[in-house]
Structure 1
Amino acid sequence: MDDISDVEIIAPNFKHRLSGVTSTIIQLIPVQRALGQKVAVLGPGLPASLPHIGYTALAALWRRPKNRALRVWHARRNIEMLPAIVLRDLLRMKLKIVFTSASQRKHSGWTKFLVRKMDAVIATSNRTAAYLEVASTTIMHGIDTQRFFPAEDKANAKTALGLPADKKIAGCFGRVRHQKGTDLFVDSMIALLPQRPDWIAIIAGRATPSHQAFETELKEKVKSAGLAGRILFVGEHTNIPDWYRALDLFVAPQRWEGFGLTPLEAMATQVPVVATDVGAFSELLVTGADETGILIAAGSLAEMTEASALFMDDPERTQRAGKRGLLRAVESFSIKGEAEKIGAVYETLLSKS
């Protein structure tokens, strides 16, 4: 446990199950600490390698941290905003509250009430900001470009994973479920691959128990199409950057998404992207003359098939888009840049007496 007197920012995580929010915390905290932000986590479901404080340490929030007039509590869920409001307003602890919103839907009355009580609000995209009824700062998620980077040798990257080095590969990564659009990717590949013998497809990700029947149905559909050897379900992997490096095309087929990092991860590995217009995808990709990918309507199998074919059948376009995507990911979406912008929000609040 960290000494609470040295902690200036508290990042609570009050959800046991791994989620996108939890992953964000896990990835951000080490970068924030490296930048000198004195942040520690509170709550379950986080690795022991992160700096932690215990619940008993909260009693110390009546006292100021070293060299500061107050602390910042950075909430990312309703269940993390509410206790902070109690600590600040009822118990009069020396605290300012930041809330990060990734939601792209109309908020409930309860959420609106909580958000109005915040000292600062961060939106993870401009689309998210449009749903907020308070002033906010847009800070988009970044990725670790030390983990996600292009393959030096694409053929070797494929061979290392047991994939054929002489085939081009289209990939779809993430949880296998209807919301993620895995079925749309499978159907598009069933339509495209018979006429393109130099391509195969892979689906990397896990189907949770409630979605295993959905995955089984997709596998049966692939088998019935005679493509079981060319549309591969490779499961969940911890070395996911290696799988991106083996790709020649990435498809993000989600029907709905809060933010969605997979297009950025593909771009950082110099892979062009076909993505649905959900989450922050329209703000991540560049389309048109300087394209890094193609944006399509959510749920449209026809558009997904057509857009994928455009890249599959034009190697030069594919290479150009991949190079532009890499440049954009590195210049505009590094996780260090995200941490620095969040740090500026903290500093504004920490400087207040």
Structure 2
Amino acid sequence: EALGPEGLFPERPVESGLMAHLAQISLLSKILLGLLFVLLLAIALLIKDKSGIAMLFMVFILPLTILYFLYWRNARYGVPLDTVLKLFFTGFFVSPIAAMTLESVSSVLLLIILTPEDSVKLKKGDEAFIRNNLGLLFVYMFVQAFLVAALIEEFVKHLIVRSCWLPHPLRTPKSVLIAFVAGALGFETIENIEYIFAAGASGTSIGGIHLTAFETELEVLVLRSLLPIHAICAATQAWGVIKRDFENEAQFNLLKILALPVFFHGLFDFGAMYLPLVLASYGSSEGVMTGVMLSLSFVIMLLGLIFLIVAYNAQTRRLRQGFEPVEGRELGSLSGDSPVGLNGTQLSVVEDELGP
């Protein structure tokens, strides 16, 4: 769309409400909003249980909450709502297709490790097979967690920002952070919908008590909301991009940007995949397996959060000290405009964007 940056904000973006910002979004964003509404309506019509319809809309509580505090509350004047919507919808509609395609192709690697017959035994939970092949399954789950899942999904989430042309360039550190998290939240939302309703269809139990479909879905929703791995890894990616584009560290290439997010994401998935196998093979109860797996997941999330807090605080201090402009580099979005160098004369802009 031939849409200039000046046409994306209301006249007074800070004081304007949601409707004023929505009035400025592009035709494409309006079409995507309509498509989301139609999709949710179609899913709601297919759901027979009314509680499932409520669950469908509850899935959006997490992304809306994060975007409110990260973006809407104090940064909507720096990034147009149109940009946030486009990135979210790219993560919601496009990225899952790309990720599933790449993961399906790369899954061929897993056939080198496990034969189809062994895969059937693994899916059936054959305790003797699992106990006798823990080393082989370690390699299998490691490849699946770090290469097939984490690497591909983090790369696809990176492309959400790098492959989208945005009329309003990402000129500030905060705008880069918002862009990566918005795209990741779109990806995480559609993934949560898949996991939640799949769990509701299969059913589960706690302590021998069978849960209803709604109770199962609610359990999965709460757990996945408390463990937003995609958003945390996206924020880690944004830290790397800011380091490269705003701190003028050109050697901080894509491999380095993806390294930490892939590590956190892969470790998170690996624990969820491999630990239950080890515990089950030695006769551990379902309660013990769930407790250990959740504890490990929360520890990994906590490590990710601690890293982000420490890394962003250090980065903020460096940015506020001022540095040389980045020559000829476009920031994050591959937009057509040249980036602005952030130096001592623009210190107040950096402070406004990064916060205290």
TM (norm. structure 1) is 0.31
Determine which structure has the larger strand proportion and give its number: 1
TM (norm. structure 2) is 0.31
Q: Tell me which of the two structures has the higher relative contact order, counting C-alpha pairs closer than 8 angstroms and 6 or more residues apart.
A: 2
Determine which structure has the larger helix proportion and give its number: 2
